[in-house]
Structure 1
Amino acid sequence: MTSAHAPLPVSFFGIAVGVLALGNAWHLAVPLWHLPPQIADLLTFGGIAVWLVLLALYAHKWLRHGAEARAEMNHPVQSSFAALVPVASMLAATALLPVARPLALAVAAVALAAQLALGLWLYGRMWQGGRQPELVTPAMYLPAVAQNFVSGTTAAAFGWPHLGMLFFGAGMFSWLAIESMVLSRAALQAPLPEALRPVLGIQLAPAVVGGVAYMSLNGGVPDLFAQILLGYGLYQALLLVRLLPWIARQPFAPSYWAFSFGVAALPALAMRLLASGATGPVEWLAPWLFGAANIIIGLLVLKTLALLLQGRLLPAATPSR
């Protein structure tokens, strides 16, 4: 007897990343605007629950569907989403820090080591060449950029700022190098197929996730570079709004969670600046961005639950011959 659905795609860890990132944004918003802390806690522990369920399902995939798991890790696009496993784990570790420091420390140590090994393996494979131009997408940011930026934030949270600076540097210069490749592909090659277009949501993340990492490491100073990163993040958000009708030709699928990390990190960066004394446009931008993040991620949650209830969340299994 075979299941009608394929095993869990590793990209589903983007759901845990998005919910945990929104929980982090709520924890920043609570003292700023005197919002109920229970919502922040609900999102955070809901994100941890999703992360644990996904870890169990992904472990089951490797145990029972090893061939599919290995094929996913060898795919030039799908393999990049494996970086979301350590990213979600580091976000979970940071969320657990106030309530269970020894457990949080253990999770963070494993996740930091795993992200470094995985990032070097995936990014090193790219250096060996052979990638077709049509497979150059923003998913390439995940192993070398997202993992290192989140590692920087995690290291700072655990009191290791000097280690965090090293991760931040690795993520920053990897971002600059990879973005030129992504833009070159977009400008010079055929348009992305409709099924891959939601991956463009990742384009928002590097500047704002990097900005959160930077402010975690610089003592929370709202300096010029932090505001530059916010400005570039805002520009990327506007660009994605302009492209949304073109991206949305693909019906809703879990791939739209690619937007969630950047969508949650954008107001988080603005709120960090505001809490540190920044003035000017950020004062009115922060609440609007926070509200938009809640609406967007709320819609992602509702549409994902609808697919789950309809039995259409997981892709259909490929019939064996």
Structure 2
Amino acid sequence: MNASRWAVPASYFSMVLGLTGLGNGWRVAARLWGFPAWIGETVMAVAVTVWAVLLLRFAIKWIAAREAAKAEAAHPILCCFIALVPVATMLAGIGVLPHAHGVGTGIILAGAAASLLFGLWRHGGQWRGGRDEKTTTTVLYLPTVGANLVSAIAMSALGWPTWGQLFFGAGVLAWIVQESIILGRLLTVEPLPLTLRPTVGIQMAPPAVSLLAYAAVTTGPPDLVARMLLGYAIVQALMVLRLMPWIRQPFTLSYWAFTFGATAISTGTMRFAERGDDPVFTTLAPALFVMSNVVIAGLSVASVLWVLRAKPASASAPAPASAATAPAAPTDRAPMR
């Protein structure tokens, strides 16, 4: 077996986040505007298929290319992308849930448990200090902020919003604490390497996913907190848009880092538009829904063209290139105990 063939970077799972995000958006659109329900289910089917293929290849990677897998897990930047594996698993479970409740529940619970354990392992190790400030990027949000917020959404999908509120609190507070650290690095340390710049798109995800999670764990019409989260998510999205000339580089799959924030802000706005005749949410919901579809459609077409050009896996994500530009901190090379 050619081991390198299976060396799929964990960052590939960002495709699942974007596709499931769009599928959930179409599910809400079917309720809100009467769109055909089959569209959302078709998108979800594609997302779950992509998840299953990637999960299989990622598992085989740990058998056939174990050294590459261990190097990814030990790297101070690349390791955080591994959080996308259980996060994508929970989202795939949400996709399956309406069609096979027992199977979907099992997938969600497995993803939530793995997500929590990975976040404890990853961030618990970082508390020992010694981290190189150049390795601080937006991917630090993934193991705690993204993982906990998606767990909140998943618990609500299972009908357990009270448990979801625990994860919501963990995710939001982790976001508030970590954002100051990440922005401090972006503002005061040398610019990100070219291959890592698309990950700046993750910066819009915490408020957008917080909005969606808040909609999942609460009831009633939009309130002040919902408007605050939506407002900040829009500002972050505009900030990322302003940086596109700086981020811009030849297409790689790393651009999927933009997608979960783009779909979450859309779906969160639509879910609140369902729950009350609020002029802000009802006005913005259609525009944001169109935006999310354009983003995912554009990236999907670009990804297919990229695959047809048969680029090597090492050029497909920021991971391998960043490994050369961001030295591992001693504590990140040491095994976690």
Does the 8 Å CA contact 1:307/1:313 hold for their aligned counterparts? no
For residues 16-75 of structure 1, give each alpha carbon's deviation from its aligned partner in whole angstroms, at most 9, with x where no partner exists. Answer: 111011100111111222222221111011000000000110011001011100100011
For residues 82-108 of structure 1, give each alpha carbon's deviation from its aligned partner in whole angstroms, at most 9, with x where no partner exists. Answer: 111111111111111111011111111
For normalisation by structure 2, the TM-score amounts to: 0.91
Amino acid in structure 1 at the alignment position of 2:204: L
Residue aligning to 1:163: 163
Residue aligning to 2:37: 37
Does the 8 Å CA contact 1:145/1:172 hold for their aligned counterparts? yes
Distance in 2, Cα, partners of 1:119 & 1:220: 32
Residue aligning to 1:69: 69
Q: CA deviation at 1:283?
A: 2.2
For residues 212-244 of structure 1, give each alpha carbon's deviation from its aligned partner in whole angstroms, at most 9, with x where no partner exists. Answer: 111111125411101110111001011111111
Residue aligning to 1:60: 60
Residues 141-220 of structure 1: pairs in structure 2 closer than 5 A: 141-220=141-220
Residue aligning to 2:85: 85
Distance in 2, Cα, partners of 1:189 & 1:131: 14
Amino acid in structure 2 at the alignment position of 1:57: R
Does the 8 Å CA contact 1:254/1:313 hold for their aligned counterparts? no
Amino acid in structure 2 at the alignment position of 1:40: G
Task: Give the SS at the match of 1:315.
Answer: helix
Task: Give the SS at the match of 1:222.
Answer: coil
Q: CA deviation at 1:162?
A: 2.0
Gaps of 5+ in 1: none
Distance in 1, Cα, partners of 2:282 & 2:8: 41
Distance in 1, Cα, partners of 2:187 & 2:223: 33
Q: CA deviation at 1:246?
A: 0.6
In the alignment, structure 1 residue 113 sits paired with structure 2 residue 113:
yes
Amino acid in structure 2 at the alignment position of 1:309: L
Q: Structure 1 stretch 272-281 or stretch 13-22: which is displaced more?
A: 272-281
Distance in 1, Cα, partners of 2:98 & 2:6: 37
Give the direction of change, closer, same or farther, for the CA distance of 1:3–1:167 in structure 2 (3 Å limit).
Answer: closer
Residue aligning to 1:272: 271
RMSD (Å) for aligned C-alpha atoms = 1.6
Residue aligning to 2:329: none
For normalisation by structure 1, the TM-score amounts to: 0.95
Distance in 2, Cα, partners of 1:109 & 1:307: 34
Q: Structure 1 stretch 138-147 or stretch 152-161: which is displaced more?
A: 152-161
Does the 8 Å CA contact 1:152/1:217 hold for their aligned counterparts? yes
Q: CA deviation at 1:165?
A: 1.2
Distance in 1, Cα, partners of 2:100 & 2:2: 40
Distance in 1, Cα, partners of 2:156 & 2:126: 29
Residue aligning to 2:293: 294
Give the direction of change, closer, same or farther, for the CA distance of 1:2–1:59 in structure 2 (3 Å limit).
Answer: closer
Question: Kindly, what percent of the aligned residue pairs are identical?
Answer: 41
For residues 96-134 of structure 1, give each alpha carbon's deviation from its aligned partner in whole angstroms, at most 9, with x where no partner exists. Answer: 111101111111111111011001011112211122111
Task: Give the SS at the match of 1:11.
Answer: helix
Q: CA deviation at 1:264?
A: 0.5
Distance in 1, Cα, partners of 2:93 & 2:83: 16
For residues 175-210 of structure 1, give each alpha carbon's deviation from its aligned partner in whole angstroms, at most 9, with x where no partner exists. Answer: 001100011001111111111000001111111111
Q: Structure 1 stretch 169-178 or stretch 1-10: which is displaced more?
A: 1-10
Gaps of 5+ in 2: 321-337
Does the 8 Å CA contact 2:3/2:64 hold for their aligned counterparts? no
Structure 1 residue ranges, 4+ long, deviating more than 4 angstroms after superposition:
1-6
Does the 8 Å CA contact 2:80/2:140 hold for their aligned counterparts? yes
Distance in 1, Cα, partners of 2:199 & 2:125: 21
For residues 241-272 of structure 1, give each alpha carbon's deviation from its aligned partner in whole angstroms, at most 9, with x where no partner exists. Answer: 11111111x21101100001001101111101
Residue aligning to 1:281: 280
Does the 8 Å CA contact 1:6/1:315 hold for their aligned counterparts? no
Does the 8 Å CA contact 1:220/1:272 hold for their aligned counterparts? no
Q: Structure 1 stretch 145-154 or stretch 25-34: which is displaced more?
A: 25-34
Distance in 2, Cα, partners of 1:37 & 1:151: 25
Distance in 1, Cα, partners of 2:168 & 2:285: 24
Residue aligning to 1:310: 309
Distance in 2, Cα, partners of 1:254 & 1:220: 38
Q: Work out the number of aligned pairs and report it.
A: 317
Task: Give the SS at the match of 2:279.
Answer: coil
Q: CA deviation at 1:5?
A: 5.1
Task: Give the SS at the match of 1:281.
Answer: helix
Task: Give the SS at the match of 1:259.
Answer: helix
Residue aligning to 2:327: none
Distance in 2, Cα, partners of 1:132 & 1:13: 26
In the alignment, structure 1 residue 225 sits paired with structure 2 residue 229:
no
Q: Structure 1 stretch 30-39 or stretch 194-203: which is displaced more?
A: 30-39
Distance in 2, Cα, partners of 1:189 & 1:142: 21
